[in-house]
Chain A
Amino acid sequence: MTFDEFVGARLPALLRYATAVTCDPHLAEDVVQDVLVRAQSRWGRIGGVDQPEAYVRRMVLNEFLSWRRRVARRAVPVRDETIEAASPVLDDPAGRLVERDAVVGMIAALPPRQRAVIALRFFEGSSDAEIADLLGCTEATVRSHASRALATLRGSAMSRGSAASDSGSTRPALTGKESA
Chain B
Amino acid sequence: MITDEEIRAALDRVVARAPDPARIRAGFASRARAHRQRRALLVAGGALAAAGALGVPSILAWRDRRGQGPGDGTVPITPDVRTPPNLGPAVAEPIPNAAVQRVAMRYRPSWLPEGYVEMSRTASVGSDASNYQSREWMRVQDAAETPDKNSEPPPYIRLVLVPASRLELGDWRIPAKINGADGGVSLEDGQIPQVIWRIGNGLHLAVQVGSVGDDRTVALWIARSVEPDGVAGVECPLRFGWLPESLTGEHQVSLTQWGDTWRATLQVISDRIEVASVVYGQGITLPPDGTESMVRGRQGIVRSYENGGGWAYVFLNDGRDLLVSIASGSGVAVDDVVRIADKLDLGPPLYHGWIGQR
Contacts and interface: CB of A to CB of B under 8 A. Distances in A.
Q: Which of B8, B15, B282, B285 has the most CB of A within 10 A?
A: B15
A136 B290 contact: yes
B203 interface: no
Nearest to A29: B19
B7 interface: yes
B19 A72 contact: no
B279 to A, nearest CB: 9
A33 B149 CA distance: 11
Range of interface residues on A (Cβ < 8 Å): 35 or more
A49 to B, nearest CB: 10
Contact of A67 (B7, B149, B282, B298): B282
B17 A19 contact: yes
Contact of B10 (A11, A30, A34, A104): A104
Interface stretch (B22-30, B123-131, B191-199): B22-30
Given A15-B19, A138-B299, A67 B11 contact: no
A107 B8 CA distance: 11
A150 B299 CA distance: 24
A108 B24 CA distance: 22
Given A25-B14, A75-B146, A62 B285 contact: yes
Contacts of B263: 67
Nearest to A123: B11
A161 to B, nearest CB: 9
Contacts of A18: 18
A55 to B, nearest CB: 8
Contact of A72 (B14, B23, B146, B299): B146
Nearest to A15: B18
B43 interface: no
Nearest to B301: A136
B31 A67 contact: no
A103 B315 contact: no
Contacts of A109: none
B184 interface: no
B91 interface: no
A20 B15 CA distance: 6
Contacts of B290: 136
B261 interface: yes
B241 interface: no
Interface of B: 1-2, 4, 6-15, 17-19, 21, 23-25, 27-28, 31-32, 35, 143-147, 149, 258-261, 263, 281-286, 288, 290, 298-299, 301, 313, 315
Of all A-B residue pairs in the complex, the 10 with the closest CB atoms, nearest first, are: A71-B259, A67-B283, A103-B10, A19-B18, A29-B19, A138-B299, A123-B11, A66-B285, A71-B258, A37-B35
